[in-house]
Amino acid sequence: MMSTATKRPDPAVVPSASLPEGKLDRDRAEEIAGIFHLLGEPNRLSILAACMAGPRSVNDLAALTGMSPSLTSHHLRLLKAARLVRPRRQGKFVHYAVHDHHVTSVLLDMMEHVAEPNQTQDMEG
C-alpha cells in the first residue's frame, strides 16, 4: 500500500536569491561572523532587545540593563559601527533604535529558536 502522506520540505532548507547554491564568499562570511561575535555579549543583546521596543536614550538603556552609562555608551558605539543600532538626536539627547527590520528579524528568530523545545532527540531516535 502506498502512503498518501505529503512529504514536507525540510524547514531548515530555505532557498534564497541572496545565497545562490548555498555559497557564501569568504569576505561576507567574515563580516557575518564578526556580527555574531559582537552579539555573543549578553549585555549587547539586552541593549538590542530594549531598542526593539522603540528608541531609547543611553540613560534609559543603562537603567534597563543595570550597566553604567559609560559602559552602555561603549556597547552602543560597537553596535552602531556594525549597523545594528542607529542614533537619532532628539533635543539634547541621542536615542538609539534597532537599525532595521533585518536586525529585529534575526533577534526574534533566535528568541523563538531558544524557546523551542529541544527536537534533537526526535531526529536521533
Residue range 13-44, pLDDT digits in tens: 555 666 667 788 999 999 999 999 999 999 99
Q: Is residue 28 part of a domain?
A: no
CB 98, CB 105: distance < 8 Å: no
- Residue 112: the pLDDT is 94
* CA-angle at 32, arms to 117 and 123, nearest 5°: 25
Bridge partners, residue 57, by sequence: 95
**Cβ-Cβ contacts under 8 Å for 89 (sequence gap 6 or more):** 95
Positive or negative torsion for Cα 57, 63, 68, 72: negative
- Residue 24: the pLDDT is 86
For residue 51, what is the domain's CATH number? 1.10.10.10
Which of 2-6, 22-26, 57-61 is least confident?
Answer: 2-6
Asked if residue 5 has pLDDT above 70, the reply is no
Q: Is residue 77 part of a domain?
A: yes
Per the prediction, the chain carries an average pLDDT of 87
DSSP 8-state secondary structure symbol assigned to residue 120: H
Q: Is residue 94 part of a domain?
A: yes
Query: Based on the structure, what is the number of domains in the chain?
Result: 1
Q: Which pLDDT band, with edges at 50, 70 and 90, does 106 fall under?
A: very high
C-alpha cell, 55: 528608541
DSSP 8-state secondary structure symbol assigned to residue 11: T
Q: Which domain holds residue 49?
A: 36-116
Q: Is residue 121 part of a domain?
A: no
Q: Is residue 11 part of a domain?
A: no
- How far apart are the C-alpha atoms of 18 and 50, rounded to whole Å? 29
Q: Is residue 9 part of a domain?
A: no
SS3 at position 49: helix
Q: Is residue 78 part of a domain?
A: yes
Q: Is residue 24 part of a domain?
A: no
CB 85, CB 73: distance < 8 Å: no
